[in-house]
Amino acid sequence: MEITQDASPLPVYSVIHRAMQFIERQLPDSPFHGNERLHFSNVVGLLLSAAMHPTVRSLRAIEQHSHLPQTREMTRLKVVPRSTMSDALARFDPEQLRPVIRALQARLPWLRRLDPQADRAARQIVAMDGSWFTLAGEVTHALQMNRGNQGRQSRVRLNLQLDVESFLPLDCDVSGAGDGSEPTAFMRRLVKDCIYLVDRNFVHFGFINAVHAAGSNLVLRLRKDTNFAASAQRPLTPRDREAKVLQDEVGMLCGPTSPTNQGRASRTGKPPAQIYRRIVIWDEKNKKPVILLTDLLDVPAWVIGELYRLRWQIELFLRWLKVFANFEHLISQSPRGMTMQFYVAVLLTLLLHIRTGMPVGKHTLHILQMSATGQLDEAGVQFLLARRERERLLELARRARKKRV
């Protein structure tokens, strides 16, 4: 049974049930829990079902949720005690979901979200960022962070990569104690033929060199104090000036200068050896210049500015994840369980995207949550989704007309 988008209405639980069958086909030899016949796909299905109910945000609530007839029918289990669920989350390897996520990504309906001008870069555009999630108790895996008057708290960082065109996560992992900075964590997940959009936290020579070694490009916001040795100025076009580009120059990144540092190396590595561009754009809203670094030498300067603006997509996605999807609280205290919960969130966005053919946002999630809780029948779901899509297209058309004025 395939997970596809078609014209026939599919209830939310049917979509999750099909997802479980899909996982079982992808992972025929995946393990089960020893005390109960709790299969890996059962855990994923139960977490997906719980995610569709905004009040199910703890192991106790998931245990109660497993009593529901619809949940029992979908998971093929009677009840899942919270102790069993906790142990299963710590025992099962969440990395088994990676091939499932990749297989689902290959089935996605293509939604065009980019400004057509940004397409001139002709590569997959990926925004990177990390976001903190607070844990209720003291967890060894967590980073102990000083929160001022709140004292020390246990937190983990989600390292997320987002395809800004489809508004869908491509990759994520969890960082805990001893895992280093954001750039260090992302260095191990780089792939070929991407344009990575990153903020000032990624001014890290090791990361910049790693992007180049992976065969990808980057658009990076520089700090004001980052040394850059310009060798030539590039002329600005009328389109560049219209986009508030102040300066476009080529040169090389320089490390810290001192008599004993001949190689200009820093604590993050040696400076890159290749040529880069340094582009300065005026931010009218905040009344200050934005300094960008890129190795895209044949792309107009104003397009580089448009590319960096797309980095805001990952901020919107993380806000959606925490605020609208209620994904602020982690139910597991093990590294595997935390990672499993994040992977299930990725899986949920993929399934909802395939189910509706629409970008996953608060309105889509709310409509499907009403279906899962029995407040809407399938006809109501179809009506509200169609109306929401019509509103979205009208808003896009309005913005396009405004740009042409």
Is 251 contained in some domain? yes
Same domain, 357 and 285: no
- Contact status, residue 175 vs residue 159, Cβ threshold 8 Å: yes
Is 313 contained in some domain? no
How distant is the alpha carbon of residue 299 from its chain centre? Answer: 26
As a whole number of angstroms, the distance between CA 135 and CA 133 comes to 7
Q: Return the number of other C-beta atoms located less than 10 Å from residue 305's C-beta.
A: 22
Which stretches of 92-151 are assigned E, i.e. beta strand? 124-134, 143-146
Same domain, 341 and 395: yes
Return all residues near 284 (Cβ < 8 A) that are at least 6 apart: 244
Name the H helices within 140-250: 182-187, 205-213, 238-242
- Buried-state track 92-106, b at ≥16 Cβ within 10 A, e below 16: bebebbeebbeebbe
Output the six-digit token pair for 61. Answer: 């609530």
Output the six-digit token pair for 16. Answer: 């999750």
Output the six-digit token pair for 183. Answer: 């750039």
Is 260 contained in some domain? yes
- Contact status, residue 156 vs residue 133, Cβ threshold 8 Å: yes
The CATH number for 270's domain is 2.20.25
Is 151 contained in some domain? no
Instruction: Tell me the pLDDT of the chain (405 aa) as tens digits.
Output: 343 333 333 456 777 777 787 787 777 665 555 555 678 888 888 888 888 777 787 888 889 988 888 888 877 778 888 888 888 888 888 888 888 888 887 777 654 444 555 544 556 889 998 887 766 554 556 666 555 555 555 678 888 898 887 777 888 888 876 677 888 889 988 989 999 999 998 988 899 999 999 999 999 999 888 888 899 999 999 999 999 999 999 999 886 666 555 555 566 778 888 999 999 999 988 899 999 999 999 999 999 999 999 898 888 888 877 766 656 667 787 878 888 888 888 888 888 777 777 766 777 777 777 777 777 777 887 888 888 888 888 887 888 787 676
Which stretches of 269-332 are assigned E, i.e. beta strand? 276-283, 288-294
Number of structural domains the chain divides into? 2
Is 124 contained in some domain? no
* Residue 195 confidence (pLDDT): 94
pTM of the model: 0.73
Same domain, 275 and 338: no
- Contact status, residue 59 vs residue 88, Cβ threshold 8 Å: no
The angle subtended at Cα 124 by Cα 270 and Cα 195, nearest 5°, is 20
Return all residues near 186 (Cβ < 8 A) that are at least 6 apart: 128, 159, 161, 202, 207
As a whole number of angstroms, the distance between CA 301 and CA 303 comes to 5
Which residue range(s) make up the domain with 236?
A: 214-295
Output the six-digit token pair for 131. Answer: 């976001």
Helix, coil or strand: residue 194 = strand
- Contact status, residue 385 vs residue 140, Cβ threshold 8 Å: no
Same domain, 360 and 282: no
Terminal CA-CA length for the chain: 49
The DSSP code sequence of 220-281 is: EEPPTT--EEEEEEPPPPHHHHHTTEEEEEEEEE-----TT-TT--BTTBPPP-S-EEEEEE
Domain end residue (candidates: 249, 278, 295):
295
As a whole number of angstroms, the distance between CA 327 and CA 323 comes to 7
Same domain, 284 and 363: no
Same domain, 31 and 96: yes
